[in-house]
């Protein structure tokens, strides 16, 4: 881990940039005076005029200080209101990390000597944002030999050190798990297959001290069980599909705890299409370019289990991933074919590119065998959701009002954008087939995110269920913020982890 908390007086290290948070221009000005450099003061006043700096959220001043005391101070405005503007802190941290990286600094120091900011919450905010901001996907690049950026958080005294250290370790782990999900999603489908997802799950289970167990079903086991919808998608895939089932059981007093009061059973289902070509309903080339991202839901589920293996939770959790590629071949399912899903319902497959709902239908049915109190699925399910909410916002559809409120609140707390979409019963008619129980594409093209959610709903019947369509934010074509660069974002890891606690 490259993030440490230290006891260090403000501006006491010369050759690393310092980052100070301020709520007003006056506060920043006072800090500049502390530097005792006339030229820095002149430069600061110039920058204040040029940028209209007032210490507001999302304002920043980068001040070079050519004195022997400090080289550079970065002022991050977070606004003069009492409630903490968490997103302003995160984006400020992201910008500071970028500036340090671009200037080839080896170290960056966040100044929390101001007691208003020396809190556990602030430490966590800085740590997670900095961990996400530092992420680079370099697997396929020649090594550049630049040392990674070390981050220090300077505190006024040792009072916060014990609680602070724990908080920083966990906040770093949340960032690192999110970055693991990003690595999985960014890795091309050539190298990221259903088998690689199994490998990652295996490593997580092995390092869990017995709390996480893994079982994997292969093609013949899934066929035997009757997962006709999932197997229809896998039919054209040369690479073997793998159905992954992870279980986390809480430990108390060193013993696995199957059932204790207040303990719930939660099922997380992640869409795990390692590449979505569309199948015989082949996508146009442009639409295929980013389709290595179609296992982003699965990556998020794996990241959550990594965190469970490290830190635990009081609930029992199941993770389900029906992993496969969606490929054309002479073995592939054809438009017009009818298959029987695990719950016995028949589905007319009219478009093989609407494959996510088929794999999820069987995964959700399978999840119900373990009597979950709640099922949450995460899926890069529809382009229509991106049309509806744009690239940065995920759609939430749920049959449970309380769960909806909880998830929206968790997302907002961690800075992931989530918005409710309706499960309009009248539109469910559009998923009915004339020759089978359902069809996998609706009879009209409007409200495609809703009809996809409605397709899943009967499979989750009887259980409190939420569906997150993460097609927009899971893989960003341009940066989502200063701390989340373009490419995979690990969407959902932070929201689900926050919700679990
Ligand atoms: N994986 C895609 C959805 C997607 C689109 C994810 C863009 C991320 C970015 C999904 O399998 C798909 O192809 N959906 C179709 C459904 C249609 C055939 C009903 C779509 O959205 O066009
Ligand atoms: Mn598709
Ligand atoms: Zn897909």
Q: Which protein residues have their CB within 5 A of the ion that is ligand 3?
A: 273, 276, 294, 356
Query: Is 469 a pocket residue for ligand 1 (Cβ < 6 Å)?
Result: no
Task: Set out the domains of the chain in order of their start, with CATH numbers.
Answer: 3-173 (3.40.220.10), 192-500 (3.40.630.10)
Query: How high is the pLDDT of residue 307?
Result: 98
Instruction: Say if residues 147 and 103 touch (Cβ distance below 8 Å).
Output: no
283 is catalytic: yes
Name 37's Cβ contacts closer than 8 Å, sequence gap at least 6: 65, 66, 67, 69
Atom number of ligand 1 nearest to Cα 442: 19
Instruction: Say if residues 264 and 374 touch (Cβ distance below 8 Å).
Output: yes
Q: Which protein residues have their CB within 5 A of the ion that is ligand 2?
A: 276, 353, 355
SS3 of residue 390 by DSSP: coil
> What is the distance between the alpha carbons of residues 85 and 129, in angstroms, rounded to a whole number?
14
219 is catalytic: no
The pLDDT tens digits of the residues spanning 273-320 come to 999 999 999 999 999 999 999 999 999 999 999 999 999 999 999 999
User: Ligand 1 pocket: which of 286, 381, 448, 474 to mutate (most atoms <8 Å of CB)?
Assistant: 381
Q: Which of 29, 150, 251, 283 is catalytic?
A: 283
* pLDDT (mean) for 234-262: 89
Query: How high is the pLDDT of residue 155?
Result: 94
Q: How confident is the model at residue 89 (pLDDT cuts 50, 70, 90)?
A: very high
> What is the distance between the alpha carbons of residues 11 and 426, in angstroms, rounded to a whole number?
63
> What's the predicted TM-score (pTM) here?
0.97
Q: How confident is the model at residue 157 (pLDDT cuts 50, 70, 90)?
A: confident
> What is the distance between the alpha carbons of residues 355 and 185, in angstroms, rounded to a whole number?
18
Instruction: Please give the distance, rounded to the nearest whole angstrom, from the Cα atom of residue 378 to the centre of ligand 3.
Output: 12
The pLDDT tens digits of the residues spanning 430-446 come to 999 999 999 999 999 99
Query: Is 326 a pocket residue for ligand 1 (Cβ < 6 Å)?
Result: no
> What is the distance between the alpha carbons of residues 384 and 445, in angstroms, rounded to a whole number?
9
> What is the distance between the alpha carbons of residues 282 and 355, in angstroms, rounded to a whole number?
12
What does the H/E/C string look like for 442-479?
Answer: CCCCCCHHHHHHHHHHHHHCCCEEEEEECCCCCEECCC
Instruction: Please give the distance, rounded to the nearest whole angstrom, from the Cα atom of residue 355 to the centre of ligand 1.
Output: 8
Distances (CA, A) of 205 to 181, 195, 251, 343: 16, 15, 14, 29
Q: 103-107, 197-201, 257-261: lowest mean pLDDT where?
A: 257-261
Q: For residue 464, what are its two tokens?
A: 């409190």
SS3 of residue 259 by DSSP: coil
Q: For residue 468, what are its two tokens?
A: 């997150």
Going by CA atoms, what residue is nearest to atom 13 of ligand 1? 353
Name 2's Cβ contacts closer than 8 Å, sequence gap at least 6: 134, 148, 149, 150, 151
Instruction: Please give the distance, rounded to the nearest whole angstrom, from the Cα atom of residue 416 to the centre of ligand 2.
Output: 24
The single-letter DSSP state of residue 492 is T
Query: Is 388 a pocket residue for ligand 1 (Cβ < 6 Å)?
Result: no
Q: How confident is the model at residue 258 (pLDDT cuts 50, 70, 90)?
A: low
Mean pLDDT of the chain: 96
Query: Is 287 a pocket residue for ligand 1 (Cβ < 6 Å)?
Result: no
Residue in the structure block whose two tokens are 């260090």? 8
* pLDDT (mean) for 18-34: 96
Instruction: Say if residues 216 and 244 touch (Cβ distance below 8 Å).
Output: yes
User: Ligand 1 pocket: which of 355, 383, 473, 488 to mutate (most atoms <8 Å of CB)?
Assistant: 383
Instruction: Say if residues 177 and 414 touch (Cβ distance below 8 Å).
Output: no
């Amino acid at each position: 881990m490259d993030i440490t908390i230290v006891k260090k007086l403000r501006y006491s290290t010369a050759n690393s940039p310092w980052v100070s948070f301020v709520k007003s221009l006056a506060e920043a000005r006072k800090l500049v005076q502390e530097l005792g450099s006339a030229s820095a003061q002149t430069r600061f006043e110039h920058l204040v005029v040029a940028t209209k700096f007032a210490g507001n959220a999302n304002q920043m001043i980068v001040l070079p200080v050519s004195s022997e005391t400090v080289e550079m101070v970065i002022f991050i405005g977070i606004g003069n209101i009492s409630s903490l503007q968490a997103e302003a802190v995160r984006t400020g941290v992201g910008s500071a990390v970028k500036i340090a990286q671009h200037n080839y600094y080896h170290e960056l120091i966040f100044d929390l000597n101001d007691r208003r900011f020396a809190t556990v919450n602030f430490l966590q905010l800085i740590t997670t944002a900095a961990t996400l901001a530092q992420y680079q996907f370099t697997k396929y690049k020649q090594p550049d030999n630049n040392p990674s950026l070390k981050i220090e958080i300077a505190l006024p005294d040792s009072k916060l050190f014990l609680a602070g250290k724990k908080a920083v370790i966990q906040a770093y782990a949340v960032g690192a798990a999110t970055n693991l999900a990003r690595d999985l999603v960014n890795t091309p489908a050539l190298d990221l297959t259903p088998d690689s997802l199994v490998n990652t799950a295996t490593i997580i289970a092995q390092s869990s001290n017995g709390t996480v167990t893994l079982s994997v079903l292969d093609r013949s086991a899934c066929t035997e069980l009757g997962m006709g919808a999932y197997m229809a998608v896998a039919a054209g895939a040369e690479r073997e599909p793998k159905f992954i089932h992870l279980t986390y059981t809480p430990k108390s007093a060193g013993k696995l705890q199957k059932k204790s009061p207040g303990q719930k059973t939660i099922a997380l289902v992640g869409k795990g299409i390692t590449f979505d070509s569309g199948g015989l309903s082949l996508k146009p080339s442009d639409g295929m370019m980013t389709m290595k991202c179609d296992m982003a839901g699965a990556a998020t589920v794996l990241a959550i289990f990594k965190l469970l293996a490290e830190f635990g939770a009081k609930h029992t959790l199941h993770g389900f991933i029906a992993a496969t590629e969606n490929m054309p071949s002479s073995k592939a399912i054809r438009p017009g074919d009818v298959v029987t899903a695990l719950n016995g319902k028949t589905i007319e497959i009219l478009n093989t590119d609407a494959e996510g709902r088929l794999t999820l239908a069987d995964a959700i049915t399978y999840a119900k065998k373990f009597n979950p109190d709640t099922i949450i699925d995460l899926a890069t399910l529809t382009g229509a959701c991106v049309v509806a909410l744009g690239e940065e916002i995920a759609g939430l559809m749920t049959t449970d009002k309380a769960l909806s409120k909880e998830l929206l609140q968790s997302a907002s707390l961690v800075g992931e954008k989530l918005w409710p979409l309706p499960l309009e019963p009248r539109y469910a008619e559009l998923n009915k087939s004339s020759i089978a129980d359902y069809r996998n594409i609706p009879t009209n093209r409007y409200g495609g995110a809703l009809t996809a959610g409605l397709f899943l709903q009967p499979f989750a019947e009887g259980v409190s269920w939420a569906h997150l369509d993460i097609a927009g934010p899971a893989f960003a074509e341009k940066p989502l913020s200063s701390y989340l660069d373009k490419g995979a974002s690990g969407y959902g890891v932070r929201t689900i982890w926050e919700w679990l606690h």
